[in-house]
Chain A
Amino acid sequence: MLSAIPPVERWWKNLANGRCRSRCWQSPWRFRWPRSFKHLEILEKSGLVQTEKVGRVRTCSIKTAGLSVAEQWLDERRTTWEERFDRLGDLLAEPDEN
């Protein structure tokens, strides 16, 4: 389900890689706060995240029960290689030194 929504997938991968802090929600992915809440709703509906709002505080937690340990590792492995091949593309786009 997530893969059908590229921006959310991107957001998810960055969150999974521990790189998503408040600033990253706005730039370079151009998320705005209200949309971020929308994304959380989508993630919640996908069964991967659960959120709970008490007063002004929303608590989020990851539900990994649906995935086996091996599936979690596999997903992470594939993401790692995809990011490597993205960086390879950036490197190949540079002119050669000589």
Chain B
Amino acid sequence: MKQETTSLIDGFRVLDLTDETGHLCGKILGDLGADVLKIEPPGGDIARNNGPFYHDIPHPEKSLYWFFTNLNKRGITLNLETSAGRGLFKRLVKAADFVIESFEPGYLNSLDLGYDELAKTNPGIIMTSITPFGQKGPYAQYKTTDLVGVAMGGMARLYGYMDSPPLRFFAPQFYFNGSLQGVLGSMVALYHKEFTDEGQHVDVSCQHAVVLTLMMGIEIWDLLKVNYRGIGPYGMSVRPTPPGPLLMRWVWPCKNGFVYLMVGGGAAQGVRISTENLVAWANSEGYALLLKDHDWLEDNSATVTQEEISLMENEFAGFLLTKSKEELFEYAVKNEIMLVPVTDAKDLVASPQLEARKFWVTVDHPELGEKISYPGYPIRWTDLPAYRPQRRSPLIGEHNAEVYEKELGMTKEELVLLKTRGVI
């Protein structure tokens, strides 16, 4: 019989035991419509101490990091280190589709809550484990932070000045990469379960996820035995010697900031057309005159010298300095020039594009007396209501009564006992 649905995966239940390593996984499953229950130890998840904070007030109910990565979830507290806690957890597992967790490998097994044990309770359960390096192997017990993770995954080496260490984004990415791969693995497992009723264990490595983001960095080593590295505002074209690697400027200063722009010609048709259009514009204002009759189709990136490239780049650099990033972008969009402004958080929030697509969504935080604007879901769909977060992130133990009393049929008196015993 065909059913009606109001979201892509409503009716599916997720038990979320993760810490910072896996928080985003449950958040995104919630974006897709799953019913996500965040299970925190009594007193609350340690990531509630992660900054930044609402109005810079360091308080476990005011972490903006927590707000974002635990959006869409209901929250209960439960101490898995007590036998009563484990019993309650297994009762929840009976009615769940997913358990997602990010404990140190082996921890859940030591509590008798590993995949094999949970599968005895519910053979259809999908357990997704998100850890820095995966469940087994020589690094499985290694400690990480975002910086250590992006270094070990090969991303940091792609960024840097010529005279600086490898660098990272000033915004944590390592655990987000693993968490989103966790969503993907979970969804593949769910598809399998839909046809077979069979669950399984999904073992995700964040390091491994970062390796997937290196683009052709892997292939450049595999085929040419060159390690790509960050090299200031330039991109490096790997060429045999002679003539050797070619540096091409990608980040350019303009009047009020920076823009991202590639210039060149030859076989890369998009870049060639873009460059021709930019030269025409610069020429019309008396700039880049040396390039007036340059034949960009004849450009050959295999033979051009660094000196020739630098000469051309000087021609563009002078012109770009006369324009603001807003002027440059506005013209670029209308005239097929591949250029974007280097955008900050303020610019993003003001982006007419994101506004027009109603990307930002408002989340009500009644206890703060405020509605806060969040990034929405990066995909629109037909045939279903538009994306809207199900609820703000949970307060500590906010849904204990709802879950333990209404779903598990416990009494208020029993809950009091569990609280005094440190179970919830």
A binds B: no
Binding site for B on A (CB under 8 A): none
